Amino acid sequence: MPLIGGGAPLLLWAIISYSGAFANAFFPTPVQILQAGAKLLSDGVLIGDILASSGRVLFGFLAAAIVSIPIGLLMGTFHTMEGLFSPVVGSVRYMPVAAFVPLVMIWFGYDEPAKVLIVFLGIVLYNTTMIVDAVRKIPNEILNAAYTLGVSRPILLFQVIFPAALPSILDTMRTNIAGAWNFLILAEVIAAKQGLGFRIIQSQRYVDTDKVLFCICVIGLIGLLTDYALRKLAIALTPWSEHS
Amino acid sequence: MSLSLDFVNNPLAGRFWGSATSAMTELSLHPPGAAGSKFPAPPPPEELPDKLCVQKISKIFDYQSQPLTVLQDVDLSLKSNEFVCLVGASGCGKSTLLNIVAGLTAPTSGRILVDQEEVTGPGSDRGMVFQAYSLFPWLTVAKNIEFGLKLQKLSKRERRERIAYYLEVVGLSRFANAFPKQLSGGMKQRAAIARALANEPEVLLMDEPFGALDAQTKEQLQLFMREMWERTHTTILMVTHDVEEAIFLSSRVAVMEAHPGRIKESVEIELPEHRELEMKSEVSFIQLKRRITTMLGHG
């Protein structure tokens, strides 16, 4: 079935593009797309673009994880911490991150930190709210059992709440790395000298539709690989959990 | 901003009232290694002071901004080595009472004494077995048992001995390294019982521990629990809605009535010390069952 599900759209694409109904400059054939990719590779830009974009996503994503995991755990666990953070987390979450992009550019310029920051801003609040939810969903029996075994609060946080929420935290990370790519492309489309988003915008200027499509496919492929890797990581880190 | 550590998820919400670490003066169970003498006779209960004492406990909840009295002036005491079952219709507040004894819910008024000392808040002197889902899924069975032992700062050797001993007691030695998700419902409950017992609490509290199991597993575990008590004579307070289960397991059944919840009557179970499942169909057993059921029915 996955073969049909994946093959059918590709076949449809091939039929339309080879039929000549649209000019190939706008609707390139699969072979042309691959040739465009080969060209990008031989020009020596493809690897650099992939590394630049992946690096930005990686740093933004890691920074968001490092900030959101402790804050989410604290907010989910302590009323006072929720009171402290929820005005920011609750309200800023509804402001579109795209609207912050110009501000980030004004404050931080056009260099690497600005792009990493946009990725970070894009996902950090989603991460946090999702982790708060994960903590809230820990069954009461688990916490009460820990209490009757004699835990203190720090031990409860580190040795019960954290491991109990870990599977959901890892799920959250997997869901939000897709978001990280969204925000990266947004940042690169606006200002960059390198990266897959930059390559897409530049190709658009020269109506290199085949290159645009190739770069989109590369992003999709990286997404698939990351998802697979994170799933494996989740299974390795939480072998005790029910994995679908 | 005051950083009072009030847990969102915790019914205590900010009231970590006193540390309930009444010193464990004596072990109510055999220490590991003394497993040879399997069925020691318990000391006669009359001569011992109360192990657990529930004094005039009341609990009033806010229900749709109306005060709702769930428990009113509940008095109950357990002698050392007693196995008492608390039965009552659903909604009579028996689980609330157990949670108050465990220190997981604060009473509106009244006191809980363990070994004549007042306890507030949860502590390892009162171990608890829940209806289900209370094992830590991220720890193996052995590590689940070890969790409380580490908190008590037992040495590695002592921990290893106790784990091995209690795994053997509940018949899960072969599953020491299994994760909870790999166990059946009955095995999970046995592991949870082992974890609570390994902490060697003064009193073991059980909240409908077999309520989520199928009939056959339930009977097996009843038999197991009774044998375990015959072996260890831990002081146990167990909540159940199953009258037959209560009679089979306990030395005394406390019958609760509802609205407001209080202890209506205590029924001594004068069945032989050693019990078999067949006893459930004996005349004396059925008479007891009818008597208690009548008390529950015509509250």
CATH number of the domain residue A171 falls in: 1.10.3720.10
Domain that residue A147 falls in: 38-237
Chain-chain contact of A150 with B148 (C-beta, under 8 angstroms): yes
Q: How many CB atoms lie within 10 A of CB A3?
A: 7
Q: Is A23 inside a domain boundary? A: no
Q: Is residue A203 part of a domain?
A: yes
Contact flag B148-A142 (C-beta cutoff 8 Å): no
Per CB-CB distance under 8 Å, the chain B contacts of A82 are 8
Domain assignment present for residue A244? The answer is: no
Query: What is the Cα–Cα distance from A65 to A133, expressed in whole angstroms?
Result: 15
| Distances A161 to A130, A137, A168, B33 between C-alpha atoms, Å | 15, 10, 12, 35
Interfacial residues of A (vs B; Cβ cutoff 8 Å): 76-80, 82-84, 135-136, 138-151, 153, 155-156, 159-160, 163-164, 166, 238-242
Chain segment B69-92, per-residue pLDDT in tens: 899 999 999 999 999 999 988 888
Mean pLDDT of chain B: 84
CB atoms within 10 A of CB B299: 13
The minimum CA-CA distance between A217 and chain B, rounded to whole Å, is 38
**How does DSSP classify residue A208?**
-
DSSP character string of B40-73:
PPPPPGGGSPEEEEEEEEEEEEEETTEEEEEEEE
Does some domain include residue A93? yes
For the beta carbon of residue B116, count every other beta carbon within 10 angstroms. Answer: 10
- Number of neighbours of residue A155 by Cβ within 10 angstroms: 16
Instruction: Give residue-wise pLDDT tens across range B260-272.
Output: 888 888 999 988 8
Give domain status of residue A50, yes or no.
yes
Lowest mean pLDDT among A20-29, A137-146, A177-186, B246-255: A20-29
Instruction: Look up tokens 């949670």; give the residue.
Output: B99
- Is residue A28 situated within a structural domain? no
Tally of structural domains, chain A: 1
Q: A78 and B5: CB-CB below 8 Å?
A: yes
- Residue A6 forms part of a structural domain: no
Residue A70 lies in a domain: yes
Could you tell me if the ipTM is greater than 0.90? no
Over 50: is that where the pLDDT of B5 sits? no
pLDDT value of residue A101 = 87
Tell me what the mean pLDDT of segment B153-168 comes to: 94
A131-169 tens-digit pLDDT: 999 999 999 999 999 999 999 888 999 999 999 999 999
Q: Work out whether the CA dihedral B73, B79, B80, B84 comes out positive or negative.
A: negative
The structural domains of chain B, ordered by start, are: 44-120+233-299 (3.40.50.300)
Q: Token pair 């290159």 is at which residue?
A: A211
Q: Which helix (H) or strand (E) holds A124?
A: helix A112-136
Q: What is the largest CA-CA distance in chain B?
A: 66
